[in-house]
Amino acid sequence: ALENFPLLMYILAAKTLILCLAFAGVKMYQSKKIEEKLKREREEKLKTEVEKKDD
């Protein structure tokens, strides 16, 4: 069983790495979407304020 030990460690490390990368990717994706949403909302607010000033 000991000769397989390094291999098992590699597999475990790879799994952990993949999970971390996937998690980071999801977080980045979500924050990008949230940022876009906030940006759009801010632009909408600016538009409505400008339209009010025009009256």
Residue-wise pLDDT tens digits, 12-28: 999 999 999 999 999 99
CA 4-2-10 angle, 5° bins: 40
Written as six digits, the tokens of 54 are: 């025009």
Residue 1's pLDDT band, with cuts at 50, 70 and 90, is: low
- Average predicted confidence (pLDDT) for the chain: 92
The three-class DSSP label of residue 1 is coil
Q: What is the dihedral of CA 42, 44, 46, 49, to 10 degrees?
A: -140
Residue 3 has pLDDT above 70, yes or no: yes
Q: Among 25, 17, 20, which Cα is nearest to 9's? A: 17
pTM for the structure as a whole: 0.55
Q: Where are the domains of the chain?
A: 2-54
